[in-house]
Amino acid sequence: MIEIYLDGQTLDVSFTDETRFREFVSELERELVKAKRSIVEILLDGKRVEDRAGAAFLDTHLKEAGEVRLLTVPLQEIVLDAVDLCQRHNVQIKADIAKAVEALRLGNSTEGFVFLARVFESADMLANTLASLYDTGRRYNISLFNEPPDIYLESLVKRLEEIRSAKEAGDTVLTADLLGYELLPLIGEMEKNCRANVKNP
Amino acid sequence: MLKANHDILRLKNPELLLLLESGGFEPVVIESSKSGAPTFKYRGIYFHSLYDPAAEAKRLSAEIVSKRADWVILFGLGCGHIAQRLIEEKIERLIIHEPSLDILKAVLSKVDLSDILSKDAVYLTHTMPELTALLRDKLDGMDDIAVSKTAPYQQVFAEEHVMFINQVGNVHMTGRIGIQTDIVSRRDWIKNYFANIPSMRACQPIDIFKNRYKHVPLVIVGAGPSLEKNVHLLKDMKGRALILASVSAYKPLLLRGISPDFVIASEKVDLPEYFTEDDTNIRLILGEVSHPNMFRDRKVRNTFIYYNMLLQLSIEQARFWGSSYFPLCGGSVTTMAFDMGFMFGCDPIVFIGQDLAYGENKTHVSGSVYGRQELVFDPEKGVIVKEAYIKRQETQVSAYDLYWIKGQDNKLLASRYDWVTFHQWFEDYMKKTRKNGVVTRVINSTEGGAYIDGMEHRPLQDVIAWFIDFNAPCFVEDLIIDAEADGRRTVDIPALVKSFSTHRLSLEHIRRYAKRILGKAKALKRGLAAGGLDPSLEKDLKEIKTFEEKLFKETENIPFIWEAMVQRTYRIREYLKEDLLKDDLKQFRNDLETTEGIYEDIIAVCDECEPLVEGALKDLEGG
C-alpha cells in the first residue's frame, strides 16, 4: 500500500490501479498553483527522482510504489532563486565580455577566445534560466517580465551568431566590437526587462 | 592624396611620397564607423572599431601613456586614431611605422593627418632600413621607449612585426651598450692612454698607410665560426691582398698556416692569451687605449697606433703625436679595420668570419681563446654558453639574452647584443658611405651569418677570381715596408708638455672650486636642519652657483675630466628624469645630496688624474 507525504504530512489520495504519476503529479500541481507553491523534489521509495518530467517516472503506476515523498517550496522562493541565478549569470557574462574584449583589443587572441567561449557558455545558461523563469511566471499567472523575453532571446542568438562568424573570420576587432557594443548592452536590457530584478513578485 | 597630407609628406618624407605616388596598390575602402570616425577593412578584417574608433584608441593608448616613455614607437598608422590620442595626451616624440603602402595610400587619400604628421618629433616610416636609420638617429641609450601595436596589424603583418620588434630592440640595446661601454671603460682608457705615452712616442701612427694600398684588395678576418669554411683560401691571397685580422682571429689563422699582414687589437685589459709566445714579428695595429702590455716585447717598427675619437685626450693631442686620422668605430676592432681599409685606399674590402651570429654550437672558430663550446638555446632564458676558456681550468657558463638578426638566407639568426651592435653599425656605415658617393666595393664573403645591408654578399672564391692576379708577383709586403720608410713623423713634445701643464693647473683649480662647493653644501645642510627652507640660505646657494660657473669654465681646459666622471653624469641624467617631489624640503635635500655626490667625485677624479699628468710630464720632459 503506497504512502504519500507532502512536505512531511501524510496525503490521502484516492487512485485506481491504472493511475500513473503523470495524472497524480499534474493534479497535485494544479492544486499547488492555487497555493502558489511548486514541487521541487520527489523521493520515490527513498530515492530522489532525477528526471521528474521523464516518461520513466511519469508512466509508473502509483500502485507499484511503496512510498512517495514530495517537497514543495513557495513560488516566491523559486522565483527568487531563479532571479538570483540570472543575476549571477549576468555578472559572469559581463565580466567575461570585458575580459574577452580587452584581450582581443590588445592582440591576445588566445586569451580572448578562452573568455569568449565562457561568454557563450554563460549566455546559454542565462537563456535557459530566463526561459524557465518565463514558463514558471506563465504557469502561475505572474508577470515577471516587462516584455516576453523571447524577443531578447532571439536577439541574443543572433548576436552570438554574428560573434561566432567574426571570430571564424579572424576579425578580432569586429569580435570585440560586437561583444562590447552589441552583446553587452543587450545583456543590460535583458536584465532590465526582468521585473523580478526590480521588486519581488 | 589629400593636399594637406601631400604637403607634409613632401616636406618630411619625400621618398615615401614618391613611393605612394608610384601606383599599383591594392584598394582599401575607408568606411565611416557608427561614430563617424574612419575605419577600414584590409585582408578581410577590420583595423579599427566599426563603432567608435576614437574611444577604442583612447583605451588602447592608456597603457602607453602611463609608461611616460621618452619615445613611443607605433607599429601601424591605420587611420591615425592612436597617434591622435597620444598627441592629445602630450606624447610629443612619436615614430610611426606603417608596413603597408596600400593602407597608407588609402588613409592619406581620405583622412587628414597633417596635424599629426606636421609635429616636429612625429615621424612616419615605411621601410625597415628607413625605420632603423631614424631610430639610430633619434634614440639615445638613456631614452625610455614604449612600443605599441594593435591586434590587426600584428595579425596581418606578422613577419614585419617580428622584424620591427627585433629592429627596435636592437637599436635601443645598441644605445644602451654605448652607455655601458662609457661607464665601464672610460676611466681605464684614460689610465691606459697615460701609461702608453712612451709607446706613443716610439711607434708610428697608422696614418702612414694613408692611400698606400690604392685598389689593393683587403680581407678583414673575423673569428666567427664560419671562418673554418673558407679560411684555407687566404693562402692563395697572401701577398696579393692585404690580410688584416682581428686579434681573436690571429691564433686561428696561425694554426692554419696563415700569417696575417696586420693584427688589430684595442683591448683595454691585458689579454696575453690572444698571442703566441713567439710572435715578436707580429705586425700590430693598436689603439692608444690598449692595455700597455700589448705594446710590451713588440718590435717598435712593427707596431702602429691609431687614436680614438671617443677620447677627449686623443682629440686634443693626436695631432701632437703625428696623427690626424681617427677611425670610426662601431664597438669592435673589425669595425675600425673597415674604416682603416677606406683610409688605406683598399678596394675591394672583403670580410670573412664576420658571422655576427651564433654558429652551430660555437661562438668562434676553433683555435681561438675558446676551447670546446656547448650552446643551449632557450626561448625563455636566452642562450647558455658553456665553454672552456684557454686561461681557466674550469668550464665557464654564461647566459645571454637572445637577439635576432636577418641571415644571408633571409631567415632570422640568433645573435648576441654586441654582435647586433656591430651589425647596426656596419649597415649604418654602408648607408652613409654610399650616400657620400664612395664607390669602393665592399663584399661580405662570410660563409653564412648575418646579412649586412649595403654590402655585396659573394663567396671568397669569386673575390679571388675577380681580383687576384696570380701572374703578378706578391707585392703587399713591399708596400708595407715602403710606407714605414716614407712615413716617419715627429712628435711635438713642446705642444704635449704645454697641453699636460694646462691639465695640471686646471686640475688644481677644479679641485679647489669643488672643495669650496662642498663646504657651502654642508653649510646649507646645517642651515636646513636649523631653520628649514629659509630665504637666508639663498646666499650660500648663490655662492655655490658662482663656484660652479668657475669650475665649469675651468673644465674647458681639461675636457677629459667629464669622461672620467661619466658614470656620475649618467646617474645625474637619471636623477633629472625622476619626478619632482611634492615635499619641497625633501626635494631640496635630495638635490643637495646629488650636488655633494658630483663634487666628491670631481675631487676623487682630480686626485686620480693628477699623478697621471705629472707622470706624463716627467716622461716627456725627461725624454
The pLDDT score that the predictor gives to residue A195 is 61
* Cβ-defined contact of A172 to B155 (cutoff 8 Å): yes
Question: From the candidates B46, B63, B74, B82, which should be mutated to test the interface with A, based on the most A CB atoms within 10 A?
Answer: B46
C-alpha distances (whole Å) from B200 to each of B112, B125, B262, B496, B613 are 62, 47, 18, 12, 15
Q: Give the three-class secondary structure for B118.
A: coil
Q: How many angstroms separate the Cα of B103 from the Cα of each of B77, B106, B148?
A: 9, 5, 18
In whole angstroms, give the CA distance from residue A50 to residue A28.
Answer: 19
pLDDT of residue B200: 93
Q: Which three cell numbers stand for residue A66?
A: 511503496
Cα A80 to Cα A197: distance, rounded to the nearest angstrom:
9
**ipTM for the complex?**
0.71
Task: Report CA-CA distances (Å) from B302 to B204, B483, B599.
Answer: 9, 12, 44
pLDDT mean over A126-148: 80
CB of A126 closer than 8 Å to CB of A160: no
CA dihedral (B249, B421, B208, B277) positive or negative: negative
Among chain B residues, the shortest Cα distance to A109 is held by B151
- Average pLDDT (A161-167) is 95
pLDDT at residue A196, rounded to an integer: 55
Asked whether the beta carbons of B136 and B29 are under 8 A apart, the reply is no
Chain A hits for B155, Cβ within 8 Å: 107, 109, 170, 172
Smallest Cα–Cα separation from A49: which of A24, A16, A27, A17? A24
pLDDT of residue B235: 93
Is a pLDDT exceeding 50 seen at residue B56?
A: yes
Question: Across the interface, which of B45, B47, B49 has its CB nearest the CB of A169?
Answer: B45
Q: Which residue of A has its CA nearest to B39?
A: A173
CA distance linking residue B242 with residue B262, whole number of Å: 8
Model confidence at B307, in pLDDT bands (50, 70, 90)?
very high
Backbone angles phi, psi at B186, to 5 degrees: -55, -45
pLDDT of residue B184 exceeding 70, the answer is: yes
Helix (H, G, I), strand (E, B) or coil at B68: coil
Inter-helix orientation angle B53-67/A75-105, to 10°: 70
Q: A105: distance to nearest CA of chain B, Å?
A: 6
Distance of alpha carbon B390 from alpha carbon B370, whole angstroms: 6
Q: How confident is the model at residue B539 (pLDDT cuts 50, 70, 90)?
A: confident
Nine cell digits for residue B96: 610611426
B293: exposed, middle or buried (Cβ count in 10 Å: 0-12, 13-18, 19+)? middle
Give the H/E segment covering residue B385: strand B382-389
Average pLDDT over residues B129-157: 88
Instruction: List, for residues B454-495, the tens digit of each pLDDT value.
Output: 999 999 999 999 999 998 888 888 888 877 777 767 899 999
Mean pLDDT value of segment B188-192? 93
Residue A189: the pLDDT is: 87
Dihedral (CA of B254, B260, B262, B265) sign: negative
Q: Is the dihedral of CA B162, B167, B168, B172 positive or negative?
A: positive
Contacts of B22 (CB under 8 A, 6+ apart): none
Higher-pLDDT residue of A137, A8: A8
Residues of A with CB under 8 A from a CB of B: 104-107, 109, 169-174, 176-177, 180-181
Where does the pLDDT of residue B623 fall: very low under 50, low under 70, confident under 90, or very high at 90 and above?
Answer: low
Q: What is the pLDDT of residues B133-144, one digit of tens each?
A: 899 889 887 888
Residue listed under C-alpha cell 610611426: B96
The answer, yes or no, to whether residue B619 has pLDDT greater than 80, is yes
Instruction: Read off the pLDDT band of B376 (50, 70, 90).
Output: confident
CB contact (8 A) between residue B52 and residue A181: yes
Give chain A's mean pLDDT: 87
- Evaluate if residue B50 carries a pLDDT over 90: yes
What is the helix (H) or strand (E) element at residue B57, kind and residue range? helix B53-67
Handedness of CA B326, B328, B334, B340 (dihedral sign): negative
Cα separation values, B129 from B134, B158, B394, Å: 8, 18, 43
Asked if the Cβ–Cβ distance from A170 to B51 is below 8 Å, we say no
Q: What is the mean pLDDT of residues B497-516?
A: 94
pLDDT tens by residue, B521-536 = 888 888 888 777 777 7
Q: How far is B60 from chain A (nearest CA, A)?
A: 7
Chosen for mutation from B56, B79, B156 (greatest number of chain A CBs closer than 10 Å) is: B56
Mean pLDDT of B561-574: 78
Mean pLDDT (whole number) for B305-321: 92
Q: Whole-prediction pTM value?
A: 0.68
pLDDT in tens, B332-344: 999 999 999 999 9
Cα B2 to Cα A94: distance, rounded to the nearest angstrom: 42
N residues, chain B? 623
The answer to whether B201 and B621 have CB atoms below 8 angstroms apart is no
Phi–psi pair at B327, nearest 5 degrees: -65, 145
Among the partner-chain residues A173, A180, A181, the one whose CB lies closest to the CB of B152 is A173
Q: Identify the pLDDT of residue A200.
A: 44
Task: Report CB contact under 8 Å: A170, B50.
Answer: no
> Which runs of consecutive H residues, i.e. helices, occur in B231-299?
234-237, 247-255, 292-295
DSSP letters along A76-132, please?
A: HHHHHHHHHHHHHHHHHHHHHHHHHHHHHHTT-HHHHHHHHHHHHHHHHHHHHHHHH
- Please report which confidence band the pLDDT of residue B584 belongs to, taking 50, 70 and 90 as the band edges: confident
Interatomic CA distance for residues B251 and B272, integer angstroms: 12
Cβ of residue B59 closer than 8 Å to a chain A Cβ: yes
Distance CA B467, CA B313 (A): 40
Confidence grade of residue A118 (pLDDT, cut at 50, 70, 90): very high
Of A43-57, B222-236, B431-445, B524-538, the one with minimum mean pLDDT is B524-538
**Do A109 and B155 make contact, defined as CB atoms within 8 angstroms?**
yes
Which residues in chain B are closer than 8 Å to A109, comparing Cβ atoms? 151, 155
Q: Are B327 and B340 in contact (CB under 8 A)?
A: yes
Q: Is B348 helix (H, G, I), strand (E, B) or coil?
A: coil
CB distance B449 to B354 below 8 Å: yes
The chain-wide mean pLDDT, for chain B, equals 89
The cell for B161 is 612585426
Please give the radius of gyration of chain A, using alpha carbons only, rounded to the nearest integer. 22
- Which residues lie below 8 Å from residue A80, measured CB to CB, with a gap of 6+? A196, A200
CA distance A139 to A134: 9
pLDDT for the residue B27? 92
Sequence length of chain A is 201
Q: How many CA atoms lie within 13 A of A3 on its CB side?
A: 8
Q: B151, A173: Cβ pair inside 8 Å?
A: yes
Note the pLDDT of residue B488. Answer: 67
Asked if B125 and B98 count as a contact pair (C-beta separation under 8 A), the reply is: yes
